[in-house]
Chain A
Amino acid sequence: MAKYKMHILICGGTGCKSSNSLDIIEQFHQILAEKNLQDEVQVIKTGCFGFCERGPIVKIMPDNTFYTQVKPEDARRIVEEHIIKGRKVPDLLYTDPENEQHVSDSKHMNFYKKQLRIALRNCGFVDPENIEECISRGGYEGLGKCLSEMTPEQVIAEVKASGLRGRGGAGFPTGLKWELCAKNKADQKYVICNADEGDPGAFMDRSILEGDPHSIIEAMAICGYSIGATKGLVYIRAEYPLAIDRLKIAISQAREYGLLGTDILGSGFDFDIELRYGAGAFVCGEETALIHSMEGQRGEPTLKPPFPAVSGYMGKPSNVNNVETFANVPVVITKGAEWFNKIGTEKSKGTKVFALAGQINNVGLIEVPMGITLREIIYEIGGGIKNGRQFKAVQTGGPSGGCLTAKHLDTAIDYDSLVAAGSMMGSGGMVVMDETSCMPAIAKFYLEFTCEESCGKCTPCRVGNKRLCEILEKITDGRGTMEDLTELRNLGNVIKDTALCGLGQTSPNPVLSTLDNFWDEYVEHVVDKKCRAGVCKKLMNYVIDPEKCIGCGKCQKGCPAECIVRTDYIAPGHKLASMRITTEKCLKCGACMGNCKFGAISVK
């Protein structure tokens, strides 16, 4: 077996892939062959590195050099300079935005410094399509340990002791969930992996499946062993073709190596996994809806009880956990509950993966210990707000979460502190906003999503969210009244109190939390008919600064509403009279502003 001296790791995650990372791989192969280096340098397609902001990412090992935004044509330089001559290619290195210096080693990048990677431990490190790489990282040893050294009860006890909680949203203790399912006797039970990530802007589950599918297979088998199930099902979004492919490859490799199938590792334990495809319904993240969808029904949630642990898929006891939760399980077993327990806060143990997005310098996927503050995430890992603007709010938990403000920046984040602050962990979306974001408009954006994704089964969600959305539309259109604000709050609270499932119960959070934290902004929209962020078009006025206007008339020609007229005023130094916008006729399309070459038009 050839022993490679150097490894080139290239991100094959969906993000980097869509910006040509596969071509880069192809280029590397070609150039290495040309230089006769194919036996010395190995090219590995990995899962997501997380630093999607700067993709495609290429990492050179062993010197741990981290190249960002690599293009296929850069491959030659990397080979000729770095691989052959040992000189790093400086312009492809990551530039620290603070001191503008190149950073070559990911260890020294702020983006990675504060991260602790448990669930993402193998993402960006191993070739997800090669089970041997996974095994050499200790993969399946957790399963081995369970099967040969532990009873099912001990496994559950270990998971319980670790304090691991569900990473999909509500944070239900994983060990307890397993125990409930284990207690129910049945001829058949199911382990279900929820990979129906539907939260707009959250993609950690996809990254884990793409980067480390074996950890999920291993964890599901561990769960199966502990609850007495021999069948596993992964409910995965059909929109994740790459994750599906990788998972399929991983499953067949695991079967081939005897890590799935009958008599796993000589223990007498049988377990196998099948895939089921989601078809685009956010509500199917809710476990009862997910189960109905797997059974070939409309993905409508049903009341609990009965819980899936009692009557789940096909009426059999079933345990549903999401991808990230499962990804933690093998580590809990191999490193032990005690080790895991030390990470995090009192009630939230371990780490959480967040998809960092919005007006922030480093967009990407991060994994941090519970208890980290928002400040650390936003300013250290995230590299601060884009364009040096002011931080305004951060939205966590996607459509089910709320908006937190500067006063929450130093809160240690975990499941409970986020709920106390009016938001929630959710699946881990984290959208950072600056002063250019309008909070009522943000609330409306999320409500529109909820309305689109509501299953329509219960009244509060079907009609209530629609009405919430309509009231928000009224407010952002400048037609709102103070009574509307009262109604927003009352209706939001009723929906929270009466909706059938988790999606409905949490759907008013974006409204309620912005009402709490940005009340003034709502009042401005309603009373002053003003949008300070300049987002709500109907509340904006375009004005021409007569001192700056040279009177070229370009704005007038491009105005669809013919609302721009020439005045009599000629500013000092100009030859032509300035233009003026007739506000009453203005459609607020912004065409004039785009046409003005002199920056004379602004929004007030």
Chain B
Amino acid sequence: MINLTIDNKPVQVPEGTTILKAARQIGIDIPTLCYFELDGMKFENKPGGCRVCVVEVKGRRNLAPACATDCMEGMEVLTHSARVINARKTVVELLLSDHPNDCLQCEKNGDCELQSLTKRLGIKEIPFKGEMSTYKKDTTLSVYRDMDKCVMCRRCESMCNKFQSVGALSGVNRGFQAVVSPAFDQPLGDSSCVNCGQCVQVCPVGALTLVDNISDVMKAIADPTKKVVVQTAPAVRVALGEEFGMKPGEIVTGKMAAALRRLGFDHVYDTDWSADLTIMEEGTELLGRLQKALKGEEVKLPMFTSCCPAWVAFYEKNFPDLLEYPSSAKSPQGMFGAVAKNYLAPKLGVKREDLIVVSIMPCLAKKSELAREQLSVNGNRDVDFSLSTRELAHMIRQCNLNLNDMPEEDFDSPLGESTGAGVIFGATGGVMEAALRTAYEVHTGKKLPRIDFEETRGFEGIKEATIDFDGFPLKIAVAYSLKNARILMNQVREGNPNGYHFIEVMACPGGCIGGAGQPYHHGDSNIIRKRMEAIYREDVGKPIRKSHENKEVQAIYKEYYGEPCGHLSHEQLHTTYTDQSDKLEATK
């Protein structure tokens, strides 16, 4: 243990503790900007570049960055001496001198870390005037880039490379011209970007923001010729409360349904329902492949889940040779859209074009997913608009509502009932667990001895297990972050040495609960933990916890689809993948 003093207060910390963490331990909150860590998820961005967290260390010539300086025995640290405060203010003033002064109209207004730093340091004017950076604005269907606002914290770059291994973004140029950008300053959409949006989730300022679809949805609701239905993803209900001052992990399913109705949606449904449907399709597909394999037939194993659109984009771009491995099942958003446009619309007595399907997602990639050709019929999309959790919160506030005051209401039927299995889709390992619950019982014809598969849960980046499928050892793996997915895909490329049968992948930290459309967690991984706990709490609270026992799901098979992986379901609930990789094309 190391003894030191911070602001004359003694503190004892284990070796290797940074000044920043030691200070937090005794209630001294040194401000930071570039520093970003997802504790327990092996993600860290610690370039030591912004210099906001500098502190005075006795005996040291210059100021030290608290985020990256380890405590030493006998150290005397001052976090708010006149020298420190002057330096810190000057550094923030410098950042502001190259930052557009448009806070009021900025997407990040109120959520901006630079804004709160400015307020906290009491900066009233910027003494420096000079050249400001100007860059072309750029947008994909999910992510909007306004690099004039970039503060070079490099969080997005770290996310894109170290966490996701997508490699769309890199620091480019140098000096005052340095910025984070795709290669050749090309549009992000032309790069290897998969729209996971994690760059947006970690951006401290308004340089990377989501593409806002609120007005599209409001317009549809206002249009009397349209019937507007909404589906809400499992991870939304455990995070939306945060936007209204509730503690992380508060479950607001009922209040959310009530709010959505008051916003003017004609019907409020649940993506959890289509998650159960997904399990029926995907589980059946898995069993089919396994049975073939057991018979010695040629079949692609392991099977990968396919509900995460960033993941789908990732393997289409990076593993075009392995496109037959992922399940062909559409994602729950996609399945819901297909059911809504094909089955629900006639039921509601509207034409396909007049039914507007809106999804509320914890995700930004869903905004890009819904534009996939495979999810349209004659140019009419199965899902018309996707709003993130944050946009929904905006919309609720915009419409003079407060989620806290909402009554608890239920989803509408027939696409509203869901099981615990559908709920846990929101967390890493959840799709796997849901699939196992169903596949086991369908395959063995026996009741599960235990419903909870603890081995698929938690924040480990890659989880492996062998599940006893009534004598058959089913080898599974669960990964979050595309970097971990890449590790597994490379293994598959090399012949699947670990003999996996089924692999679940989600791109975001901790799964959809840590999605890019969720309320900003600002690097507090405890928030993601609380959301995960809430997901499993909701699961336990459900009377039915296995997808195949969902009454409304059973009903639609009986009434419409016949059987999982049947002809109609193949047509509507399954999809195809195409090679989206960069190709070397030789010319003469």
Contacts and interface: CB of A to CB of B under 8 A. Distances in A.
Q: Are chains A and B touching in the complex at the 8 Å CB cutoff?
A: yes
Interface of A: 281, 298, 300, 302-303, 305, 451-460, 462-464, 466-467, 470, 487, 490-491, 494, 496-500, 505
Contact of B49 (A281, A453, A457, A470): A457
B130 A497 contact: no
4 residue pairs, one from A and one from B, having the closest CB atoms = A456-B178, A454-B175, A470-B130, A463-B94
A497 B87 contact: yes
B97 A456 contact: no
A272 to B, nearest CB: 33
B371 interface: no
Interface in B80-128: 83, 86-87, 90-91, 94-95, 97-98, 127-128
Given A467-B94, A491-B128, 11 more contacts: A298-B174, A456-B174, A459-B52, A460-B51, A464-B91, A490-B86, A490-B90, A494-B87, A498-B91, A500-B51, A500-B65
Given A494-B91, A500-B51, A462 B68 contact: no
A505 B62 contact: yes
B51 A303 contact: no
B50 A466 contact: no
A411 B178 CA distance: 41
A496 B61 CA distance: 10
18 contacts: A303-B68, A455-B174, A455-B178, A456-B171, A456-B173, A456-B174, A456-B178, A457-B152, A458-B48, A459-B50, A459-B95, A460-B51, A463-B94, A463-B97, A470-B130, A470-B131, A494-B90, A498-B87
B31 interface: no
B184 interface: no
A303 B175 contact: no
A426 to B, nearest CB: 17
Contact of B175 (A455, A467, A487, A498): A455
Contacts of A467: 94, 97, 128, 130
Interface string B31-69: 000000000000000011111101000000011010011
Contacts of A305: 70
Interface of B: 47-52, 54, 62-63, 65, 68-70, 83, 86-87, 90-91, 94-95, 97-98, 127-131, 151-152, 154, 171, 173-178
Contacts of B63: 497-498
B90 A491 contact: yes
Contacts of B49: 457-459, 500
A300 B171 contact: yes
Given A456-B173, A500-B51, A462 B152 contact: yes
Interface centre among B54, B83, B152, B174 (most CB of A within 10 A): B174
Given A457-B47, A459-B152, A466 B174 contact: no
Contacts of B62: 496-499, 505
Contacts of B47: 302, 457
Contacts of B87: 494, 497-498
Contacts of B90: 464, 490-491, 494, 498
A110 B152 CA distance: 53
A467 B48 CA distance: 21
A587 B440 CA distance: 87
A456 B178 CA distance: 5
A39 B65 CA distance: 67
Given A458-B49, A459-B94, A451 B176 contact: yes
Nearest to B48: A303
A487 B90 CA distance: 10
B178 A487 contact: no
Contacts of A460: 51, 91, 94
B96 to A, nearest CB: 9
Nearest to B88: A498
A505 B49 CA distance: 13
Contact of B91 (A298, A453, A459): A459
B15 to A, nearest CB: 12
